Structure 1
Amino acid sequence: MRASRTAALAALVLAAGTVLPAAPSAVAAGNSQTGPASTWFSVSNYRILDTRVGNGAPSGKVGPDSVTRLDLRKWLGTNVVPTAVVMNVTAVDPTGDSFVTAFPDGQQVPTVSNLNFDPRRQVTTNRVTVQVGANGVVDLYNHVGSVHLVVDLQGFYTAKGTNGNYPGSTFVLGRPTRLLDTRTTIGDRQGKVGAGEQNAIAADVSSVLPADAGGSELVLQVTATEPTDASHVTVYPAGQSVWRTSDLNFAAGQTVTNLSYIDAGRGGLALYNNAGQVDLVVDYIGRFDYHYPGTASGDHGLFVPAAPTRVLDTRSGLGAPAGQAGPGSTVRVKVTGLGGVPENVTAVVLNLTGTNAADDGHITAYRSGDAIPSTSNLNYAGGKDTAAMTVVPVGADGCIELYNPHGSVDLVADVQGYYTG
């Protein structure tokens, strides 16, 4: 199921610092509600909320301690019952340091965050996976200040076998692999990407596609670093016209990361930079393999949405000893047995946040027991709360590991769901 693309945010970002909700010392009892095992359906990033123009909600900024309701049935139709959705959520022109929490309608606001922002950053974006309420509604809670919210729907999950004759797609976990780094010789493009370059970067993705001719949608961690100007980057299939959406929004000198789901074929992956010059990095995480109408999706790689649950907060000692992750350190986090996540899962979907760092740095998330891959899942900034959604493989012991190569930072992780083995 695909929908036409509509105009999406193409805006600038300024640097800043924000706040995070305080975490309890243990995972809250009752935060264990999970949905049914589900398959993935991609749409083409259409806008379901823009408070600047009154799309999806009344026109005007949302205020402090407010909840904005998104009725997915309005966009997907009453015959589609989503169990979870993937959205790009953007905060525009905030008046205060704040965060946004996405959660299923009908539940209390959980102690998690998905997006952190402040007035010095005009635009902040993060990918969000969130369980949908039984009534088809997702809520967005804004903590303090006033802010415009923009939401672009990227896809949805439905319970296996419930979307008519369409079985959907299932997730195939990959080995974390760097496909492109314009700062180095990795990939087929070296050097910064200039303003307005279109199809100049056609990153080769053939090594991570299935051998047969079946279609796949890649799950990629895309990073912009050392930009000369405030800009945005759009990720799209090579050979097509540039989509009117943005995957990354950044200021001059800022490093940002976001997860992208992209239907890139043998022609490769294109990345468009709007202004200035910037280095771009693409890391492969996994893919969704299509199952054609009338075929079975199987039992592997199904997504099970979970009530948003905090499993790590080094500020309070939740999930790991209290204290910042220092340079060269690894934090091991138990993710199974918490928030409804059982043992023997393939991977978890989580929101990873870095806070209270003095300097810029990055975090690599990987399966416990594995060698540290040469990839990154979060690029955090000194003096700012920085979040990025990611997908992390889970070890046989039910743990993931978070490696911090330099600097010191507090780490926060919120689980949104998991993939079956």
Structure 2
Amino acid sequence: MRASRAAALAALVLAAGTVLPSAATASAAEGPQVGVDSTWFPVSNYRILDTRVGNGAPSGKVGPDGVVKLDIRKILGLTSGATPTAVVMNVTAVGATDESFVTAYPDGGALPTVSNLNVSPAHQVTTNRVTVQVGTDGFVDLYNHVGNVHLVVDLQGFYTAKGANGYPGATFTLGTPARLLDTRTEVGGHPGKLTGGEDGVFQMDVSSVAPGGGDLVVQATVTEPTQSAHLTMYPALQAPWRTSDVNFDAGQTVTNLSYVYAGRDGLALYTNSGATHVVIDYIGQFQNHGLSGDAGTHGLFVPANPTRVLDTRKGLGAPQAKPGPGSTTRVKVTGLNGVPEGVAAVVINLTGTNADQDGHITALKAGDPVPGTSNLNYAARQDTAAMTIVPVSADGFIELYNPHGTVDLVADVQGYYTN
């Protein structure tokens, strides 16, 4: 179900390197470790914060130890009794003056020792998808560690407690990881770079995973761009949306998890400038249960306080050593800070740091064959983060496969999906 901002939320109202934080042990913000079973309500992407123009906060860069508070309940037009359990946002940092990180967390709790976005003056624009629990007062906080930086936030959707608003919402179904498009090859039907402007829009066929369209979750990667620009994905045959899924500098390789709506005619891909290769990997999709159906018990999202489960720099969750070429790092993600055994998947923020060369990481269910997809792409001697959704084995593990080079890996759990 694709809801407009007004339609989806009216229903609720009527119903009621870079410096990375280090941790020697798993850490989380104060308050409940995990939230409640929740269902998904997508909204058409819209901008809820832009400190460059004073949208959502005073105009001006966020300073060192600065916190921007987002009144999610007010932004969505909800009553006090209809606070979402979590939101999904695209967070973009622009014009950072120092090596720093940005952390999103529920208002009212302690600042967690995790990060969502790693920023550097070397890149004018840095972006990452964020799933964050909403505070009981309806606020989400964004914290900047050092230096000054503009913050831009696009909202993609929200979760509410199952049945809390009289509508079932949508639940998440994991798919078989699959590469839908790779413009470096023939995969997906667009050999060659995507070119900027509306004349370069590519209408991508997604019928192999979503006949008739729907709300998809994909990992989108751009590589070898000729100019700084952004990639936007939206229903095929529509005019380009005025938001972005991936922001990138010239020559940069960037991956971002994207919640996209494909229409009956597929998914449109648009970049505003230059030319770039694009890779799209399928992760899963949301199943709509109509206006009066039952969401059931499978694929419900449970938000969690951000919890670090892996840091190879510190020996947390794995040996204290950089994973080398061809290595697989096995990570326990259940039984920690309220995440139970038997979950279907976890939402994690995965960071690569101290890499000796450019590379990528594939995240997968422990014990499964390594798919031909990627979840994180990083550059040598830079810290790069990407949110992703990873299926979990019956004994509570995921695996991170590194095909080449050496790199430290950090993983923070942000929530899970029920099995």
TM range (shorter): over 0.9
Distance 1:257 1:348, change over 3 A: same
Contact 1:49 1:151 (C-alpha < 8 Å) held by counterparts: yes
* Cα pair distance change 1:198/1:417, threshold 3 Å: farther
Q: Which residue of 1 aligns with 2:96?
A: 94
- Write out aligned runs for 1:296-311 (5 A): 296-311=294-309
| Match of residue 287 from structure 1 | 285
Alpha-carbon shift at residue 381 of structure 1 (Å): 0.9
**Is the 2:195–2:201 contact (alpha carbons within 8 Å) kept by the matching residues of 1?**
no
Between the aligned partners of 2:374 and 2:198, the Cα distance in structure 1 is 25
Note the C-alpha offset of 1:26: 4.5
**Paired residues of 1:36 and 1:159 also in contact (CA < 8 A):** yes
TM-score scaled by length of structure 2? 0.94
Written as runs of structure 1 = structure 2, the 5 A alignment for 1:58-77 is 58-77=58-77
Counterpart of 2:275 (choices 253, 274, 277) is: 277
> Which residue of 2 is the match for residue 111 of structure 1?
113
| Structure 2 residue 334 is the aligned partner of structure 1 residue 345 | no
1:381 to 2:379 alignment: yes
1:246 to 244, 257, 266: 244
Match of 1:41 in 2: 41
For the pair 1:148 / 2:146, whether they are aligned, the reply is no
Q: Structure 1 CA distance, aligned partners of 2:37 and 2:126? A: 31
Distance 2:156 2:251 in 1: 28
CA distance in 2, matches of 1:154, 1:280: 21
Once the two structures are superposed, the pairs formed by residues 118-137 of structure 1 within 5 Å of their partners are: 118-137=120-139
- Structure 1 CA distance for aligned equivalents of residues 330 and 30 of structure 2: 24
Q: Distance in 1 between matches of 2:95 and 2:139?
A: 25
Secondary structure of 1:82 counterpart = coil
- Per the TM alignment, residue 167 of structure 1 is displaced from its structure 2 partner at its CA by 1.3
How far apart, in 1, do the equivalents of 2:177 and 2:280 lie?
11
Q: How far is 1:228 from its partner? A: 1.8
Deviations 1:72-113 (A, max 9, x none): 111112333200000011111111110000011111000110
Counting only pairs closer than 5 Å after superposition, residues 154-169 of structure 1 correspond to structure 2 as 154-164=156-166, 166-169=167-170
Spell out the pairing of 1:190-209 with structure 2 (5 A cutoff): 190-198=191-199, 200-209=201-210
RMSD over aligned Cα, in angstroms?
Answer: 1.6
Distance in 2 between the 1:78 and 1:32 partners? 23
Q: How much has 1:54 moved relative to structure 2?
A: 1.5
SS at match of 1:73: helix
| Deviation sequence 1:174-218 (CA, Å, 0-9, x none) | 1110011111111111111112155742222111126xx6x6300
1:314 matched to 2:312? The reply is: yes
Q: Does 1:225 align with 2:227?
A: no
Q: Could you tell me which residue of structure 2 aligns to residue 85 of structure 1?
A: 87
Q: Which moved more, 1:278-287 or 1:53-62?
A: 53-62
Paired residues, number: 405
Choose which of 388, 396, 402 in structure 2 pairs with 1:398: 396
Query: How has the CA–CA distance of structure 1 residues 331 and 140 changed in structure 2, closer, same or farther, with 3 Å as cutoff?
Result: same
Partner of 1:9: none
**DSSP 3-state at the match of 2:344:** strand
Tell me, which stretches of 5 or more residues in structure 1 are unaligned?
Answer: 5-16
**Quick check: 1:228–1:278 contact (8 Å CA) kept in 2?**
yes
Please list the CA deviations of residues 229-276 of structure 1 after superposition, one character each: whole Å capped at 9, or x if unmatched: 222111111111011111111122110000111110331111112222
Verify the 8 A CA contact 2:89 2:156 in the aligned structure 1. yes
Which position in structure 2 is the counterpart of 1:7?
A: none
8 Å Cα contact 1:199-1:239 kept in structure 2 = no
The residue aligned with 1:178 is 179
Q: Percent identity?
A: 70
Provide the rounded CA distance (Å) in 2 between the counterparts of 1:19 and 1:88: 21
2:70 equivalent to 1:51: no
Which of 319, 327, 330 is equivalent to 2:328? 330
How far 1:25 sits from its partner (Å)? Answer: 3.8
Equivalence for 2:20: 20
Q: Which runs of 4+ in 1 moved over 6 A?
A: 28-32
**Alignment-derived partner of residue 14 in structure 2:** none
* Distance in structure 1 (CA, Å) of the matches to 2:338 and 2:93: 30
Aligned to 1:139: 141
Is contact 2:103–2:144 with CA below 8 Å preserved after alignment? Answer: yes
In structure 2, distance between residues paired with 1:402 and 1:59: 40
**Residue-by-residue CA offset, 1:275-320 (whole Å, 9 max, x unaligned):** 2211110000000011111111111100000000000000000000
Amino acid at match of 2:169: G
Mean Cα displacement is larger for which, 231-240 or 280-289? 231-240
1:393–1:400 Cα contact (<8 Å) kept: yes
Tell me: CA distance 1:200–1:62, structure 2 relative to 1, closer, same or farther (3 Å): closer
Q: 1:344 to 1:419 in 2, by over 3 A?
A: same
- For residues 392 and 60 of structure 1, the distance between their equivalents in structure 2, rounded to whole angstroms, comes to 37
Q: Which ranges in structure 2 are unaligned for 5 or more consecutive residues?
A: 7-16
CA positional deviation for 1:339: 2.2
**What is the Cα deviation at residue 219 of structure 1?**
0.2
Amino acid at match of 1:256: V
